[in-house]
Structure 1
Amino acid sequence: MDLKLDFSILKTLTELPGIAGRENAVRQYLKNLLSAYADDMRTDVTGNLIVYKKGSSDKNLLFCAHMDEVGLMVHHVDERGFLRFVTVGGIDPRTLLAQRVRVQTREGELPGVIGTKPAHITTEADRGKAVGVKELFIDIGLSGEEAKKRVEAGDWAVLDRSCEELGDGLVCAKALDNRAGVFVLAEIVRALKNPFYNVYAVFTVQEEVGLRGAATAAFGVDADVSLCLDTTGAADIPGCAPQDYITVLGGGAGITALDARTITNPVLFEKLKQICDKNGIRRQVRVAPRGGNDAGAVHLSKTGIPTCGLSIPTRNIHSNVEIVSKADVADVFRLAYAAAQEGLGDITL
C-alpha cells in the first residue's frame, strides 16, 4: 500500500473558514478537488457533500468526516463598534483571549482581535474570576457607525491562524478538528480504484453542534457499514496522568471501542484491528468517557448501522493551535482505505 498523501491539501483545508452551519467555502473547495474522481456528487438539503464511488459488490460503505470547525457568531454590535459574540461548538474561553479572528460578513472578510478588560485596571475581584465569553469582545478597529454598517448579528468569525509544520513530523493549525479527517477522506476518494464497497464519502455539516449533518446523511444512504473519520483528544501532556491520555500523539490510528455516543460493534472492532495488524498499520484503542463524533448519529439511523469512529490523535483540541502527527494521519488513511478497497467481510453479530 504505497500511497502518498498530499499534505498541501490539509494546509488549504485548515485555513478555510467554516463554522458549523457555514461550511460553504470548505464544501466548494472539495467539489473542485474531487469532481474528477466521483461517479456522482451532490449536496443535500442540510449541506452535506455526498461523493459516490461505485464498487465491485452490492454492499455500501458510508464514510463521514465533518467539515465544520468551532468558531464564533456575532449577536450584538455596540455603539463603539465592538462585537459581542457567542461560541458555536465547544470552546474553552481561556483559549480565545488576545487571539486574532477573521469576521465573515456579507461584504467580505474583516480582521479583528479578541479583547477584554486589561489586567492593569482590573480589581482583585476581577482577577479572582475566570474570564468567560461575556467578558470578551471582538475589536475590528472601526467606529460604531462604520461597524454597524459592515457587521450585523448572524455574521460569524473564525480564529486566524496559518498551518505550520512543527517539530518532528507534526502539523499545527486551527480547524484540524476536523479538516484532518476531511483530508483523509478526500485522499481516499482520490486513491480508490474499483473498491469492494460502493462508497458514499459524505463530508458532513454541523457535527460540532450535535451531529446534525450525519443524522440526515445516514438516513439517506442504505449503508451496510460506516466508518467516521475525526480527530480525538491526545492528552499526553504535562499535568495529565497516563490513564487519562485517551490517545497518544504518534501512536497510530485510534480505533474507537467506546465513547459517550457509541459502543462499537465488536465484530467490526476486531476486523479493523486485524486490518491494521495484517498491513503493519500502527493502532491504538480509543476509550473516551466523554465526547463523541458522527458515529453517534450514524449507528442509530433506521434499524441501525455497524459503525466505528476512526480517530486522529490531536493535542490542544478545539483551539487555534491544534497539533496532529502526519504519521497518525497516514495510519488512519491506510486503515480506512484498506477497509473500503478490500472489504470487511461479514460483520453481523
Structure 2
Amino acid sequence: MPREFDFEFDLLRELTEARGVPGYEDDVREVVRREFAESVDRVRSDAMGNVVGTIEGDSDYSVAVAAHMDEIGFMVRHVTDEGFVQVDPLGGFDARVLRAQRVTVHGDEDLTGVIGSVPPHTLTEEQQEKDDEVKDVFIDLGRDAETVAELVGVGDLVTLDQTTTRMGDRITGKALDDRICLFAILESARRIEDPNVTVHFAATVQEEVGLRGAQALGVDIDPDLAVALDVTVANDVPQVGDAADAVTELGEGTAVKLKDSSVITSPKVHSRLTEVAEAEGIDHQHEVLPAGGTDTAGFQNTAGAKPVGAISIPTRYLHTVTETADGGDVEATIDLLTAFLESETGDHDYTL
C-alpha cells in the first residue's frame, strides 16, 4: 500500500496542473503569492514577473533560493485556412513525444485540441523516415475554420494537458519541471522560523528559454549565496543500459549538484550541502549532469562571483507529460533545503 507523504500533495497537484508557459506564468504566480502570504515577512514581484518571498534574518547576510515557475509550451504562429493551428515552441521539446497529445489552446476561450498523428499504414516511405519537428505539428480543434479563426490568433498560448497523480510512492504528471521544486521551496518557507540570515525565496520566470528570470533577479536582490532547485535526469530505466548514463536514481534521495552544462557549483557549497545531509541522516546522491542548465548559473553570470549551489529532484521522462518523481526524494529535498538554511549563519567561508 502506498505510504503517506510528509508534505501536502494537493498543493503539489495544484501547482503542477496549473498552466504557465515562459513569460506567461500568471496562474502559477497567483498560487505562489497566496502561499507566501502565510509564511514570509514580505512578498514582491518585478517587471518580468519573478516573485520573491523574504524571511528576514538576524544579519545582513542573505541567501537566495530559486525555483522556476514556467513550463514548456507553445505559442500560436499560424492558423491554416482549414482551421488547423501551427505553433512555435516555448522551451525545448522532443517533437517525438507530441504525437497524439491533447492540448489546450488559450484563445478567446480555452479550447481543447489534439495534435494529430496520421495512421502509420497510410504513411509514405518518405514520411516514415522523416524526423518529427515542432514546425510540422498541426493542432485539430474539432471546429470549422470560421469558428477557429474567430477564437484563435497568432500569439495565443498552448499548453499540454495532463493531470498529476500518484503511482505507488511515485508522482507523475506534467510540469514537475520545475513545479515540484517550486513546491519544495514553498514548503521550506513554511517550516523555517527565525533564521540567522535573510532568505529570499524566489519563484523565477522564463527559465526554459534561457534562465532569463534568474539572471535579472540576481542583480535585483544581490545575495551573498545562491542555491537553485530544479529537477534532474533520472535515466534509471531499461532503455538506458549504462548505469553511468542514469545520472541519478529515483528513490535514492535528493541530489546535490556538482555540475551541469551551465554551471560548476562552488565546491565549498556542495561540500556543506553534503555535510548537512550526512549529519541529518537525509538520503542523498551526487549529480553530474552532462547536458542541461538551471537557474544556478543565472546568479553567477549576472550577480558577480557569487558562491552557488544546487539541489535537484531526480525525475524520469523529463520534458514530457509523464514526468515522474519519487515522494521520498521530494521529502529529502525539502528536509535538506530546510536544514541547510536553518544552519546557515553567514560565517561559512565559501571563497576559494
1:50 aligned residue: 52
Q: How does 1:167-206 map to 2 (within 5 A)?
A: 167=168, 169-206=169-206
**1:227 and 1:336 in contact (8 A); partners too:** no
CA distance in 2, matches of 1:160, 1:33: 24
Find 1:94's aligned residue among 64, 80, 96. 96
**2:222 and 2:303 in contact (8 A); partners too:** no
CA distance in 2, matches of 1:120, 1:145: 31
Q: How does 1:159-174 map to 2 (within 5 A)?
A: 159-167=160-168, 169-174=169-174
What are the Cα deviations for residues 288-347 of structure 1, in whole angstroms up to 9, with x where unaligned? 111110011112223221111210000000000000001111111111111111216332
CA distance in 2, matches of 1:22, 1:68: 8
Letter of the structure 2 residue corresponding to residue 299 of structure 1:
Q
What are the Cα deviations for residues 140-176 of structure 1, in whole angstroms up to 9, with x where unaligned? 1111111011011111111100001003x10000000
Q: What is the deviation of 1:281?
A: 0.6
Letter of the structure 2 residue corresponding to residue 254 of structure 1:
A
What are the Cα deviations for residues 21-60 of structure 1, in whole angstroms up to 9, with x where unaligned? 1100000111112212221111101110111111122210
Q: Secondary structure at the match of 1:37?
A: coil
Q: Secondary structure at the match of 2:262?
A: coil
**1:98 and 1:113 in contact (8 A); partners too:** yes
1:217 aligned residue: 217
CA distance in 2, matches of 1:341, 1:122: 60
Q: Does 1:288 align with 2:289?
A: yes
CA distance in 2, matches of 1:134, 1:275: 47
2:243 aligned residue: 242
Letter of the structure 2 residue corresponding to residue 228 of structure 1:
A
In the superposition, the TM-score normalised over structure 2's length comes to: 0.95
Between stretches 131-140 and 66-75, larger displacement belongs to 131-140
Between stretches 248-257 and 301-310, larger displacement belongs to 301-310
1:307 aligned residue: 308
Q: Does 1:348 align with 2:351?
A: yes
1:110 aligned residue: 111
2:39 aligned residue: 37
Q: Does 1:329 align with 2:330?
A: yes
1:272 aligned residue: 273
Q: What is the deviation of 1:235?
A: 0.5
CA distance in 2, matches of 1:327, 1:46: 34
CA distance in 1, matches of 2:95, 2:104: 17
Q: How does 1:11-30 map to 2 (within 5 A)?
A: 11-30=13-32
2:257 aligned residue: 256
For structure 1, the 5+ residue unaligned runs are none
2:70 aligned residue: 68
Q: What is the deviation of 1:135?
A: 2.5
Letter of the structure 2 residue corresponding to residue 78 of structure 1:
T
Q: Secondary structure at the match of 1:255?
A: strand
CA distance in 2, matches of 1:150, 1:95: 27
1:79 aligned residue: 81
**2:58 and 2:196 in contact (8 A); partners too:** yes
- Kindly report the root-mean-square deviation, in angstroms, between the aligned alpha carbons of the 2 structures: 1.3
CA distance in 2, matches of 1:216, 1:235: 32
Residues 303 and 133 (structure 1), Cα distance of their counterparts in 2 relative to 1, 3 Å cut = closer
**1:60 and 1:198 in contact (8 A); partners too:** yes
- Name segments (4+ residues, structure 1) moved above 4 Å: none
What are the Cα deviations for residues 154-210 of structure 1, in whole angstroms up to 9, with x where unaligned? 11111100001003x100000000000100011111111111220101100000000
Letter of the structure 1 residue corresponding to residue 39 of structure 2:
Y
For structure 2, the 5+ residue unaligned runs are none
Between stretches 301-310 and 40-49, larger displacement belongs to 301-310
**2:57 and 2:197 in contact (8 A); partners too:** yes
CA distance in 2, matches of 1:118, 1:4: 45
Between stretches 271-280 and 222-231, larger displacement belongs to 222-231
What are the Cα deviations for residues 42-92 of structure 1, in whole angstroms up to 9, with x where unaligned? 110111011111112221000110000011111001111110012111110
What are the Cα deviations for residues 113-137 of structure 1, in whole angstroms up to 9, with x where unaligned? 1114332321111112222223321
2:299 aligned residue: 298
In the superposition, the TM-score normalised over structure 1's length comes to: 0.96
Query: Aligned pair count?
Result: 345
CA distance in 2, matches of 1:86, 1:7: 33
Q: Secondary structure at the match of 1:227?
A: strand
2:147 aligned residue: 146
Letter of the structure 1 residue corresponding to residue 171 of structure 2:
V
2:132 aligned residue: 131
CA distance in 2, matches of 1:207, 1:14: 16
**1:116 and 1:137 in contact (8 A); partners too:** no
